[in-house]
């Protein structure tokens, strides 16, 4: 609901709410972000997706990202920041957004935070035990044709071993093994620690156990975000 007051600032009944999702690779963060986007009605911004999209656009930013990606290099922080912030200023983010995969470093967080309404920003920090993570990642099967992801423990295809969409035999990614899972988790923990303490000092971080079943986690997250959306009205008033 929007109404103009003096023509400069729109009056809103609810402020924008930004959700920052943190979580180690394999904890189901991407799936949770997509699900949450549907249940609470906020745009899902996946850093990987928007970088790939920006790279296809014929703009200066697009060409810079494209050249890094083609060269197989990491897209530098400054470009990632610029791309995400540009995306959050688009009209569909007027009510806020769910940020998935950003910020990933302390520098990115320091860049982003002044641009967000902090009283209306929540950081949901998904935590998963190593044993559960291991079981999930080792149970993961993907379709080489369409990219659909299954799990032998909690998201089985209708016919064991075959994709529901195209009946292509499912595969296990070679990097989904115990050694790489442990390695990825260590790298993540090292990277996330300064970021997590930064958000804790700002008093906007909530730690949530992702060891529970994905459906239970999804409903827990949507309750937290709905509460933040309700509170955003009070923050405005």
Residues interacting with Zn ion, by CB under 5 A? 143, 145-146, 148, 163, 165-166, 168
Burial of 216 (0-12, 13-18, 19+ CB in 10 A): exposed
Q: What is the DSSP string of 82-103?
A: HHHHHHHTSGGGTTEEEEES--
Q: Pairing between strand 149-151 and 205-209?
A: unpaired
Q: Which is nearer to Zn ion, 77 or 148 (CB)?
A: 148
Tokens representing 13 are: 């009944």
Which of 178, 126, 135, 128 lies closest to 19, judged by CA?
126
Q: In sequence order, what are the residues at sequence separation of 6 or more whose Cβ sits closer than 8 angstroms to the Cβ of residue 215?
A: none
Task: Indicate if 104 belongs to the active site.
Answer: yes
Length of the chain: 237
Q: Which is nearer to Zn ion, 162 or 188 (CB)?
A: 162
Task: Indicate if 52 belongs to the active site.
Answer: no
Distance CA 174, CA 67 (A): 28
* Closest approach of Zn ion to the CB of residue 157, in Å: 9
Catalytic site residue from 104, 155, 200, 226: 104
* Closest approach of Zn ion to the CB of residue 136, in Å: 20
* Closest approach of Zn ion to the CB of residue 168, in Å: 5
Q: Which is nearer to Zn ion, 110 or 168 (CB)?
A: 168
Q: Which is nearer to Zn ion, 67 or 160 (CB)?
A: 160
Task: Indicate if 173 belongs to the active site.
Answer: yes
* Closest approach of Zn ion to the CB of residue 5, in Å: 51
Catalytic site residue from 165, 173, 182, 234: 173
Task: Indicate if 226 belongs to the active site.
Answer: no
Task: Indicate if 8 belongs to the active site.
Answer: no
Catalytic residue numbers, as ranges: 29, 104, 140, 173, 184
């Amino acid at each position: 609901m929007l109404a103009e007051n003096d023509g400069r600032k729109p009056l809103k009944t609810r402020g924008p709410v930004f959700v920052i999702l943190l979580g180690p690779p394999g904890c189901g963060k991407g799936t949770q972000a997509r699900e949450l986007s549907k249940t609470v009605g906020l745009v899902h911004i996946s850093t990987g997706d928007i970088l790939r999209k920006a790279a296809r656009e014929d703009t200066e930013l697009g060409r810079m990202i494209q050249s890094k990606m083609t060269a197989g290099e990491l897209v530098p922080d400054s470009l990632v920041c610029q791309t995400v912030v540009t995306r959050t200023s688009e009209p569909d983010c007027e009510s806020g957004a769910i940020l998935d995969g950003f910020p990933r470093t302390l520098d990115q967080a320091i860049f982003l935070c002044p641009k967000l309404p902090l009283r209306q920003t929540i950081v949901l920090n998904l935590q998963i035990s190593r044993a559960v993570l291991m079981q999930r990642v080792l149970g993961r099967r993907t379709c080489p044709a369409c990219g659909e992801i299954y799990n032998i423990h909690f998201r089985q295809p209708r016919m064991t071993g075959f994709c529901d969409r195209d009946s292509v035999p499912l595969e296990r990614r070679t990097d989904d093994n115990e050694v790489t899972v442990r390695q990825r988790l260590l790298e993540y923990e090292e990277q996330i620690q300064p970021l997590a303490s930064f958000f804790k000092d700002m008093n906007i971080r909530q730690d949530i156990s992702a060891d529970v079943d994905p459906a239970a986690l999804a409903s827990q997250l949507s309750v937290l975000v709905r509460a933040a959306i309700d509170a955003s009205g009070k923050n405005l008033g």
